[in-house]
Structure 1
Amino acid sequence: MNTDSDFEIFMVATPGLESVLCAEAQARGFTNPTPVKGGVTVAGGWPEVWRANLEMRGATRILARVASFRAFHLAQLDKRARRVPWADFLRTDVPVRVEVSCKGSRIYHAGAAAQRIQRAIAEELGAPIIREAPEAGEPGVSIKARIDDDLCTISVDSSGESLHKRNHKEAVHKAPMRETLAALFLRHCGYDGREPLPVVDPMCGSGTFPIEAAEIAAGLKPGRSRSFAFEQLAGFDPAVWQSLRGAGTVTEPAVRFYGSDRDAGAIAMSRANAERAGVSAWTDFRQHSVSDLVAPEGPPGLVIVNPPYGARLGTDRKALVPLYHALGQTLKQGFAGWRVAVITNEPSLAQATELPFGEGGVSVSNGGLRVTLHLTGALG
């Protein structure tokens, strides 16, 4: 593996938040970040691939685009797949899985295309082929081929498991929000950890928002506790990787991050997760209802909340209106100067808060549901 040559790196984003992920990539110093449908492209070599997995909070996974060629039929795909320098990045002792998607191309049978690429890898390199995705901890690397308008792009999935699995959040409450999406929502709300802004989540579940905000403020790397698929690639340099993991410093945040929930089990989960993440000293989780919420002392910051909504927890939507109304009243009365972000799939529930949300709001898919983040300016 040549660690000096540059190629295209694709950071997979939650659709609808590509520009937010692009801003993060720019802030982290990646070269030429460009938002495209479904993600962000940057230029770099393998060390940048490793760093992206380690440092990018909003990316779902990191793909290294290692080859691209035209293929108009299966025989041509077979021939050109054999020219890919597989030995530059794949090992003969690590199983390989091939996934193919076809769109607007003369090659339209993804299964047949996958067989051709599998055969090319097996015969040219000698690596074993597996049909199923490797389980957590098992050896195996995934090759993703996209055939779009007869152009075949070959990528290596350098992440393995989705990057929201950070390996320090074991306790999960019902209907949790993924850390990657939480990070993008926080950045969309203007929170990047550089200013001393407290974050409050009055329905914190397993603590994702306060923990994520505390990690950002402290400068903790999101991938610090887990392993990645790229560690099984040819030419992987453990010494360079360890230097990347050890770079940077952890800074004690100037403010604290707060979560509350009426469910005692949720608070126990949040505290345990904060302890595993190494941010328990900077987070405060308490059990109480929304109506008992009080703004913490200090400067105003951001209230961000992912309340229950009907389709998410199997609750009747009309039964939730009083909860949303109570949330809005509590915030309007006690959180002057704070900005508020509410995530829900029902516009009527957002309206029930009677909070002064701006027009529009970013809309994304979360767990198969279309949800919108509604954001206010500073409350009067």
Structure 2
Amino acid sequence: MTDDGTFEIFLATVPGLEPVLCDEVRLKGFRAPKVVPGGVVLRGGWPEVWRANLWVRGASRVLARIDAFRAVHMAQLDGRARRVPWAAVLRPDVPFRVEAASLGSRLYHEGAVAQRVETAIRETLGAVSSPEAEVVVRVRIERDLCTISIDTSGELLHRRGHKEAVNRAPMRETMASLFLRSCGYDGSEPVVDPMCGSGTFVIEAAEIAARLNPGRSRHFAFELLATFDAEAWARMRDVKSARVPAVRFHGFDRDAGAIAMSAANAERAGVSEFVSFRQGAIGDLAPPDGPPGLVMVNPPYGTRVGDKGKLAPLYKALGSVLTTRFAGWRVGIVATEARLAHATGLSFLPMAAPVPHGGLRVSLYRTDTLG
């Protein structure tokens, strides 16, 4: 931290989607965000940390980087760790835990690194360490540069606090929001998901259109820090930005259980009046009344859900329906294999590199406006 109370704030995201997150962060009013491997960095103070957790849809966690120094042996690490102003950030009455990572450094034993920093905090602050603690101090040593951060989010940020029911192979809300943004979605047009599962794309699109803050319903780890100002945080949360969307959002699925899940999740998210979910096969899919918009779909991949050998006809049927009935719409399809995506017969725009998702690598296939 510098004398003016600012520090580097790191917003983590899926590797490969950093530029998309950076665009969102910039549009949310944060100053001078910069793309780095694994996320976005900016400078600010604790109010910016709170806003990032409350406002930003595509980040998986927000780290406050409170100190950085070079360390090439344990005694050096121990000495520098004891000079970190822990009392300015952590509370002595709140348990903490330390997690360490080392890459290309002489201090390669991550367990020993974590133990040294944990001991320094206990002996200088008087706080108790616990493996179940919600407050996490993250130590990263890369090429002998040690960066000490506080994980201000706690639970990963895709856990908005609304989705209790999920289907198999769910997509995280954070990734869904970035894929929507990658397709040019800004909340002004309808969204249709023909295979909605637990409703992630539809609900996320509705929340964006309604200007609902993604972190409005949950608790954050920064509420347990010495820097937390409950009154200022309450004022920030109470700022009303919501609006009634001008369009609606539609989910379809052949499985009745998925429709029930989606409806329940939308109810908890407070967007039921803007969305509809209906059971039906791909062949029954038709565009809703009103202006065209975006079809966003995360079909089965054939790895954990479904059988690859049977999926090509499903993708072909989807492409046929979209081509013949959805003129004027754009399409975004998440897939693991180009072969399946191209089975739709759709023409795709240039692609970005695949990104990790649940142990797989997926790509977003986007179309221009369908003729």
* TM-score > 0.5 by shorter chain: yes
Are the counterparts in 1 of residues 11 and 59 from structure 2 also a CA contact under 8 Å? yes
What does residue 12 of structure 1 align with?
12
Partners of 2:119 and 2:333 in 1: CA distance: 50
How far apart are residue 133 of structure 1 and its match?
4.2
Are the counterparts in 1 of residues 173 and 204 from structure 2 also a CA contact under 8 Å? yes
How far apart are residue 107 of structure 1 and its match?
0.9
Runs of 4+ in 1 over 6 A off after TM superposition: 1-4
1:329-340 matched pairs, under 5 angstroms: 329-340=320-331
1:356-375 matched pairs, under 5 angstroms: 356-375=347-366
Deviations 1:203-261 (A, max 9, x none): 00000001000000100000001000000000311110011111132100000000000
Q: Between Structure 1 and Structure 2, how many residues are aligned?
A: 371
What does residue 158 of structure 1 align with?
152
1:304 is aligned to 2:292: no
Partners of 2:304 and 2:238 in 1: CA distance: 39
What does residue 167 of structure 1 align with?
161
How far apart are residue 2 of structure 1 and its match?
10
1:105-254 matched pairs, under 5 angstroms: 105-130=105-130, 132-134=131-133, 140-193=134-187, 196-254=188-246
How far apart are residue 4 of structure 1 and its match?
6.2
CA-based RMSD: 1.3
Any unmatched runs of 5+ in structure 1?
135-139
How far apart are residue 365 of structure 1 and its match?
0.7
Any unmatched runs of 5+ in structure 2?
none
How far apart are residue 32 of structure 1 and its match?
1.1
Q: Give the secondary structure class of the aligned counterpart of 2:33.
A: strand
What does residue 137 of structure 1 align with?
none
Deviations 1:73-113 (A, max 9, x none): 00100000000000001001111110111111111111111
1:342 is aligned to 2:333: yes
Deviations 1:270-295 (A, max 9, x none): 11111110000000100000110001
Q: Give the secondary structure class of the aligned counterpart of 1:180.
A: helix
Range with bigger deviation, 2-11 or 19-28: 2-11
1:65 is aligned to 2:65: yes
Are the counterparts in 1 of residues 312 and 340 from structure 2 also a CA contact under 8 Å? yes
Partners of 1:279 and 1:233 in 2: CA distance: 32
Deviations 1:300-355 (A, max 9, x none): 10001000111131x32121111111000000000001110111101111011001
Q: Give the secondary structure class of the aligned counterpart of 1:350.
A: helix
Partners of 1:4 and 1:248 in 2: CA distance: 30
Are the counterparts in 2 of residues 133 and 142 from structure 1 also a CA contact under 8 Å? no
Are the counterparts in 2 of residues 362 and 374 from structure 1 also a CA contact under 8 Å? no
Partners of 2:366 and 2:151 in 1: CA distance: 34
TM (norm. structure 2) is 0.98
1:84-123 matched pairs, under 5 angstroms: 84-123=84-123
TM (norm. structure 1) is 0.96
How much identity, in percent, do the aligned residues show? Answer: 61
What does residue 287 of structure 2 align with?
295
Partners of 1:237 and 1:341 in 2: CA distance: 42
Partners of 1:288 and 1:211 in 2: CA distance: 19
1:39-54 matched pairs, under 5 angstroms: 39-54=39-54
Partners of 1:361 and 1:304 in 2: CA distance: 17
Q: Give the secondary structure class of the aligned counterpart of 1:31.
A: coil
Deviations 1:170-226 (A, max 9, x none): 111111110000000001111122xx2100000000000010000001000000010
Are the counterparts in 1 of residues 16 and 354 from structure 2 also a CA contact under 8 Å? yes
1:75 is aligned to 2:75: yes
Deviations 1:152-184 (A, max 9, x none): 000000000000001111111111110000000
Partners of 2:359 and 2:123 in 1: CA distance: 40
The one of 308, 312, 316 equivalent to 1:321 is: 312
Opposite residue 26 of structure 2, the aligned amino acid is: Q
Opposite residue 100 of structure 2, the aligned amino acid is: V
Q: 1:3 to 1:188 in 2, by over 3 A?
A: farther
Are the counterparts in 1 of residues 46 and 227 from structure 2 also a CA contact under 8 Å? no
Partners of 1:352 and 1:342 in 2: CA distance: 12
Partners of 2:106 and 2:184 in 1: CA distance: 45
Opposite residue 202 of structure 1, the aligned amino acid is: P
How far apart are residue 359 of structure 1 and its match?
2.7
